[in-house]
Chain A
């Protein structure tokens, strides 16, 4: 047991690693030496009470927030050494995101929402929407293509968001409380499909949740408390 390091295995097995991450907002410390190592295709749950720093850890790992100190690497590359433009391109092509609320653009149809990351990467509309519809079918929401996000249920909207996160075939999906606004049945459906599609496509998932039933879909969990990570290795 102890703090996780990115040096637990051969370096080439680590897809995404954060070491000694510290981050404060004003005088409030959010991360205080947190660490996490994610291997390709692995599903890791980040658990912890509200305010423990788990979302900040996700944001640092995803390159959304720069840590005050410490290093985040993706495929061995230090994110801090990338320009803003390179980091944005990385987030668009290699990372997918699913949040709890408000992630779909209300003015666009569901298929346009799913196709958006491809369109931003320069893919033509027809091809982007065809790929988007394929992913929507895997998430069992292909019939909602022409509807707007305001016309679909919360659970359907989250499945559309998962399709959008997967549409660029990213290597990592960052999911921050993806079922937080859903009832048990819809939450379970979202998790089942998120995990199944991520496993099929070989994407790793970094899943922030405070719900044990959601974390039970992961391969392992890391607990964040007071900005520090703790992980437990049980004897098999």
Chain B
């Protein structure tokens, strides 16, 4: 999961301090793994260096926690590209996909598109496995079947999420 992109996505709703970003990230996406402060600030300095965020004010007192960061136009483009670039199909993707869907909803983008491109990427991987299975021996078939069932499970979660986008949008709005 790309922490940098997630932070950029959160900055699209308005400038924030590093601490504030960590708090919102942990609330939305960090259920099991909250972000470390060090990770937030190292990510922000990388985004700053790459021109994807800029400082938008420093409160008196100094120190990195006093700086506010805002997303730049280049940052917005970067988030937009990331949201519609499918994740490499592999099992246990839900955390990255969930983050993308929530950020798409928060920024008023087409969350269905996020799911559509991922479905396509998954099906492309599954077609490759089906082809390999048809040419392979029984061992190949069993190995491919294992991967196919896992990818299918991801897709079932994706379809359920697609069906619940309206509900999720309301929750994100709150």
Contacts and interface: CB of A to CB of B under 8 A. Distances in A.
Interface of A: 1, 47, 49, 192, 210-213, 215-218, 221, 223, 225, 230, 232, 234
B159 interface: yes
B124 interface: yes
A88 to B, nearest CB: 35
B126 to A, nearest CB: 4
A212 B123 contact: yes
13 contacts: A47-B119, A211-B152, A212-B123, A213-B126, A216-B126, A217-B127, A218-B127, A221-B123, A225-B162, A230-B112, A232-B119, A234-B117, A234-B124
A102 to B, nearest CB: 27
B36 to A, nearest CB: 35
B163 interface: yes
B151 A234 contact: no
B129 interface: yes
Interface of B: 86, 112-113, 116-117, 119-124, 126-127, 129-130, 134, 148-149, 151-152, 155-156, 159, 162-163
A216 B117 contact: no
B117 to A, nearest CB: 6
Contacts of B112: 225, 230
Contacts of B127: 216-218
A46 B121 CA distance: 16
Contact of B163 (A47, A49, A213): A49
A34 to B, nearest CB: 15
B93 to A, nearest CB: 14
Contacts of A225: 112, 162
Contacts of A230: 112, 116
Contacts of A192: 134
Given A216-B130, A223-B116, 5 more contacts: A49-B159, A212-B152, A213-B149, A232-B119, A234-B121
B80 to A, nearest CB: 13
A215 B123 contact: yes
B130 A1 contact: no
A116 to B, nearest CB: 31
A216 B148 contact: yes
